[in-house]
């Protein structure tokens, strides 16, 4: 009998303790010291792995500059440069890792993630240029100039350099097609003739017959708007055909792997458009000579992480994606050790720069304020 009473009493005590703990957990707030989680879906493997590494360096630099390691945890995931893999990683980051926001890059990936971001109501920060990225998804924050802005800026430079006949080569990719579309439209408005206009699949690397047709069309300049694995093959075959036409390209032309595969001499003089990347604090953090410009994707990743760190610092009680989204919407300025950027309608507004390859390195010819609607003015 006594033993039965003791067992019953023990059960009552355990029940009281359990109920007390339950009420405590229901009523007491989560400690403010709990870290906010940022998911980073990057191209960490395959032919775009070096681009993903550029992004990772920017994220890690921002974590140190903002002294955010005690408040933010970054959870990395590999998109493999595949939409299906990226979508799978986004769901995992949401359902298993319980992140409050996600960062990604590349228009192909960002546009594929948009519908899932909306379904999950997940803030999606993206170094994504496609003009519809932040327009189609109210949870998207664009950390890059839009494809329309890049296209308009290219037109302004073609006019400045007084080129009259242009050839366009575009890869069938969300970003490159969107930029080329705007560029083509702007040239028409400006009265500049497009005498060659061809698109190719991302897997294409044999451009010999295409280059022969390009050569016969005699353009003043060629916009080589292809993706990373295609830059080196095109440039090599271009020089093998003894072509000397002025070349414009995109940010991939300045990649280290392109330089190693192509050689500095072959890349000499190629121009491209990029967000203005002069940030001495970032150069110092990543050990880059102050005379050089860090890659645009390193800058975008750095700024996206600084924006998140700023948001967390100013809103100390972020526990959910809903909290994070509301807090991000309240941001109207992104403050960095070097510059302050306008944040408006979920866009971070960037000045743009025309860069040219010299001695295997990108050099800024001129930076420009970006006023929108195709209006630019040189930075002073």
Residue 5: pLDDT over 80: no
Of 349 and 115, more confident: 115
Sheet containing 101-105, strands listed edge to edge, beginning at the edge strand earlier in sequence: 72-78, 36-42, 101-105, 124-127, 140-142, 347-348, 340-344, 333-335
Assign domain 36-145+278-351 to its CATH superfamily. Answer: Response regulator (3.40.50.2300)
Q: What is the pTM of this model?
A: 0.87
d(CA 90, CA 117): 8
Pairing label, strands 333-335, 271-275: unpaired
As beta bridge partners, residue 200 has 171
Question: 148-274+353-378, what's its fold?
Answer: Rossmann fold (3.40.50)
Numbered ranges of CATH 3.40.50.2300 in the chain: 36-145+278-351, 148-274+353-378
> Read out DSSP for 174-224?
HHHHHHHHHHHHHHHHHT-EEEEEEEE-TT----HHHHHHHHHH--SEEEE
Residue 22: pLDDT over 60: no
Q: Which two tokens stand for residue 240?
A: 């093998």
Sheet containing 352-358, strands listed edge to edge, beginning at the edge strand earlier in sequence: 193-200, 165-171, 221-225, 246-249, 271-275, 352-358, 361-372, 375-378
Instruction: Return the half-sphere exposure (C-beta side, CA atoms, 13 A cut-off) of residue 67.
Output: 2
Per the prediction, the chain carries an average pLDDT of 90
Find the helix or strand (DSSP H, E) in which 374 lies: none
What is the reported pLDDT for 65? 95
Residue 365: pLDDT over 50: yes
pLDDT tier at 374, thresholds 50, 70, 90: low
Residue that is written with structure tokens 């140190």 in the block: 64
What is the reported pLDDT for 13? 39
Residue that is written with structure tokens 């949401």 in the block: 94
Q: What is the pLDDT averaged over residues 276-288?
A: 90
Q: What is the pLDDT averaged over residues 329-349?
A: 93
The lowest-confidence range among 20-29, 60-69, 307-316 is: 20-29
Residue 17: pLDDT over 90: no
Q: What is the pLDDT averaged over residues 103-121?
A: 97
Residue 27: pLDDT over 70: no
What is the reported pLDDT for 83? 97
Residue 98: pLDDT over 70: yes
Q: Quick check: 96 and 77 in contact, CB under 8 A?
A: no
Looking at the chain, the whole-number percentage of residues with pLDDT higher than 90 is 81
Looking at the chain, the whole-number percentage of residues with pLDDT higher than 70 is 90
Q: Is 39 helix (H, G, I), strand (E, B) or coil?
A: strand
What is the reported pLDDT for 283? 92
Residue 211: pLDDT over 80: yes
pLDDT, tens only, 36-64: 999 999 999 999 999 999 999 999 999 99
pLDDT, tens only, 190-199: 999 999 999 9
What is the reported pLDDT for 169? 98
What is the reported pLDDT for 358? 94
Residue 8: pLDDT over 80: no
d(CA 248, CA 254): 12
d(CA 38, CA 123): 10
Instruction: Count the helix, strand and coil residues of the chain and give each as a percent rounded to the nearest 5.
Output: 50, 25, 30
Residue 148: pLDDT over 70: yes
What is the reported pLDDT for 277? 82
């Amino acid at each position: 009998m006594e033993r039965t009473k003791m067992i019953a009493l023990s059960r009552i005590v355990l029940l009281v303790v359990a109920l007390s703990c339950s009420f405590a957990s229901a009523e007491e707030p989560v400690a403010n010291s709990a870290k906010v989680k940022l998911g980073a879906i990057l191209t960490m493997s395959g032919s775009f792995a070096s681009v993903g590494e550029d992004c990772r360096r920017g994220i890690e630099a921002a974590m140190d500059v903002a002294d955010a390691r005690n408040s933010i945890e970054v959870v990395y995931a590999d998109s493999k440069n595949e939409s299906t893999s990226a979508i799978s990683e986004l769901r995992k980051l949401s359902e298993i890792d319980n992140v409050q926001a996600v960062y990604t890059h590349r228009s192909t990936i960002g546009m594929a993630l948009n519908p899932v971001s909306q379904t999950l109501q997940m803030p999606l920060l993206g170094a994504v240029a496609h003009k519809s990225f932040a327009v189609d998804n109210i949870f998207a924050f664009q950390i890059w100039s839009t494809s329309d802005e890049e296209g308009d800026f290219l037109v302004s430079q073609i006019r400045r350099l007084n080129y009259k006949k242009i050839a366009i080569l575009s890869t069938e990719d969300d970003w490159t097609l969107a930029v080329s579309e705007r560029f083509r439209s702007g040239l028409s408005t400006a009265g500049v003739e497009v005498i060659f206009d061809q698109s190719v699949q991302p897997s294409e690397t044999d451009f010999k017959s295409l280059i022969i047709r390009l050569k016969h069309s005699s353009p003043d300049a060629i916009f080589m708007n292809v993706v990373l694995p295609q830059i080196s093959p095109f440039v090599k075959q271009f020089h093998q055909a003894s072509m000397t036409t002025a070349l414009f390209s995109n940010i991939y032309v300045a990649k280290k792997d392109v330089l190693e595969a192509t050689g500095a001499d072959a890349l000499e003089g190629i121009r491209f458009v990029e967000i203005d990347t002069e940030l001495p604090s970032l150069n110092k953090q990543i050990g880059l000579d102050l005379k050089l410009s860090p890659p645009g994707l390193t800058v975008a990743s750095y700024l996206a992480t600084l924006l998140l760190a700023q948001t967390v610092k100013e809103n100390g009680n972020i526990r959910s994606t809903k909290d994070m989204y509301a807090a991000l919407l309240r941001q109207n300025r992104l403050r960095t050790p070097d510059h302050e950027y306008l944040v408006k309608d979920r866009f971070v507004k960037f000045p743009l720069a025309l860069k040219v390859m010299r001695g295997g390195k990108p050099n800024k010819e001129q930076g420009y304020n970006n006023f929108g609607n195709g209006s630019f003015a040189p930075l002073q």
